[in-house]
Amino acid sequence: MGAAHHQQDQHHADESLVELVARANHLLAEGFEEEVKWHGLSATEWRVLAALSGREGIAMTELAELVLFKQPTLTKAIDRMERAQLVQRRTPSDDRRRTLVYLTERGRRTSAPLLLRARQHDSSLDRALGEVQSRELKSALHELIARLTPRPGETRPRRPARPRPHDADA
């Protein structure tokens, strides 16, 4: 067992944080996504409903940040959800440049059982990991997110432009 255990420990040490977080995210979401599909929603629609629940109108830009979608992806999802009468877009009279997204009554009825189920799912994960480890993991993830999130006015370093094939000929 000693050599095999050491080899497994070494493999874990060599895994990148990005890979581990991605795999954990996949495993955490996998079971719950089946429930979301059973309610007739896509994972995208669920994330939007969950972000809107308990809030009275969110600007599209803020909603895109909350659900981690690019603006075009969010716009398409909101278009579908509006046709399904789950959400409604409104333009405030005091600022015609902004569009706010609200849950409709149907959106609230659709999301309510899933929100309850999501809390139950989260509780079962806390129990499986243990209260202390769960709290420590959440704290570490919050810290990681805070350190990786650009501050207002701060820009992320840009990748150098790739040379285009015809640039080499010049």
Structural domains of the chain, ranges and CATH numbers in brackets: 27-141 (1.10.10.10)
Residues 6+ apart with CB under 8 A from 56: 102
Q: Of all residues in the chain, what percent carry a pLDDT higher than 90?
A: 46
Tell me, what's the pLDDT at 10? 56
Q: Which amino acid is at 135?
A: R
Across the range 27-50, mean pLDDT stands at 88
Backbone phi and psi for residue 103, each to the nearest 5 degrees, phi listed first: -75, 140
pLDDT band at 13 (very low <50, low <70, confident <90, very high): low
Residue type, 36: V
Mean pLDDT taken over the chain: 85
Question: Measured between alpha carbons, how far is 155 from 152 in angstroms, rounded to an integer?
Answer: 8
What is the secondary structure of 51-97 as a DSSP string? HHTT-S-EEHHHHHHHHT--HHHHHHHHHHHHHTTSEEEE--TT-TT
- Residue 56 Rama label (left phi>0; alpha psi -120 to 50; beta): beta
Q: Which of 13-27, 62-76, 80-94 has the lowest mean pLDDT?
A: 13-27
Q: Is 100 helix (H, G, I), strand (E, B) or coil?
A: strand
pLDDT at position 152, please?
A: 74
pLDDT band at 160 (very low <50, low <70, confident <90, very high): low
Query: pTM, whole model, 2 decimals?
Result: 0.72
Side-chain half-sphere of 111: how many Cα atoms within 13 Å? 24
**Angle (deg, nearest 10), helices 131-148 and 105-129:** 120
What percentage of the chain exceeds 70 in pLDDT?
82
Residue 27 has pLDDT above 80, yes or no: yes
pLDDT tens digits, residue range 50-63?
Answer: 999 988 899 999 99
* CB neighbourhood size of 1 (10 A): 5
